[in-house]
Amino acid sequence: MSDATLSAPVAVTPATGAVRFMRRAKPVLLSLIVPLALLLFWHLAVKAGMTRLIPSPAAVAEYMVDFAIGGIWDDAFSATLHLHLLASASRVYGGFLLAALVAVPLGLLIGRVELVRQLLDPFLQLMRPIPVTAWLPLSMILFGLGSTSAFFLVFLGAFYPILLNTIFGVKNVEPRLFEAASMLGCRGNAQFFKVVLPAALPSIFTGLRLGLGLAWFVIVVGEMTGVPQGLGAVIMDGRTLSRTELVICGMIVIGIAGFVSDRVVVMLMNRLLRWSPSHRG
């Protein structure tokens, strides 16, 4: 409006320790508001007797401690958290790694070689809408009851996002970069490793991140196949035994494990894709 406003000196306060701390703590505090409010609502709802079927947060917390280190209830589930977490994690990472090992090379081929695309793309597009849950019965017939089925279902869940994002990455390499490479003397198949692969890496990582997320997502379904250990098995057992606190504990552990493993991928991604400013998670 007026020149005075524009030319007025701006007061610059040096950031003191407290100010700096608040600035850093603010996003953390903000992100805690909704979960804490829900927790409070849950607590009050149970206390007011709105439900008899759901245990209070405190009861779940107590059970979580017993589930993790034992010494409170001393039943069949006490101090078994690490066993179930390990069993689930091995299936999640095993299925995920196998999916990545198959889907990344396959995606590179489909995106790059027309013959392979024509051969496989229609078939894969047809199979893709079939949900993992629909595969459950067939998987149990094929692989029997047990961890092979769980492994297979996790593999299926992680497979498509990795495959589709890899294909997308390969197909969307800037054409200019092929011209640049060929006028610099890098032609034909050499371009695959020097241009296509690095250029597709951001998309491949997006696929891996989605794939790993889905692997945790389907683990419960995967472990409905009658495995003795695993977080999915704990949840199913909890339901059968009407142990709701056990069900909730299993859910919380899966949530945390999925979150932590996603953070690891994001950290890896930020390191490897430092060159891509648009690719920061």
Partner 1 sequence: MAEIPILDIQGVGKTYTLGDARIEALRDANLTVKKGEFVCLIGASGCGKSTLLRIVAGFEQPSAGKALMWGKPIEGPAPDRGMVFQDYGLFPWLTVRENIAFGPASRGRPKAEVRDTVERFIALIGLSRFADAHPHQLSGGMKQRVAIARVLANDAEVVLMDEPFGALDAMTRERLQDELLDLWQRTGLTVLFVTHSIEEAIFLSDRVVVMEPGPGRIASAERITLARPRDVASPEFNEVRRELGTRLHSHHGKKAA
List of residues contacting partner 1 (CB under 8 A) = 176-177, 179-187, 190, 194-195, 198-199, 201, 274-277
Q: Minimum distance from CB of 196 to partner 1 (Å)? A: 12
Angle 277-102-222 from CA coordinates, rounded to 5°: 100
Distance CA 180, CA 184 (A): 6
If the CB atoms of residues 97 and 181 are measured against partner 1, the closer one turns out to be 181
Instruction: Pick the closer one to partner 1 by CB: 200 or 246.
Output: 200
**Residue 275 C-beta: closest distance to partner 1, Å:** 4
- Amino acid present at 202: P
Give 87 or 269: the residue with its C-beta nearer to partner 1: 269
Inter-axis angle of helices 57-69 and 17-47, nearest 10:
100
CA torsion sign for 64, 69, 74, 77 is positive
Other residues' Cβ atoms within 10 Å of the Cβ of residue 267: 11
Give min distance, CB of 204 to partner 1, in A.
13
Q: Per the structure block, which two tokens stand in for 14?
A: 């040096």
Identify which of 128, 280, 117 has the alpha carbon closest to the alpha carbon of residue 205.
280
Could you give the CA distance from residue 65 to residue 246 in angstroms, rounded to a whole number? 11
CB of 183 to partner 1, least distance (A): 4
Phi, psi (deg, nearest 5) at residue 267: -65, -45
Shorter beta-carbon distance to partner 1: residue 148 or 182: 182
Rounded to a whole number of angstroms, the minimum distance from the CB of residue 265 to partner 1 is 19
**Closer residue to partner 1 in complex, CB, 191/261:** 191
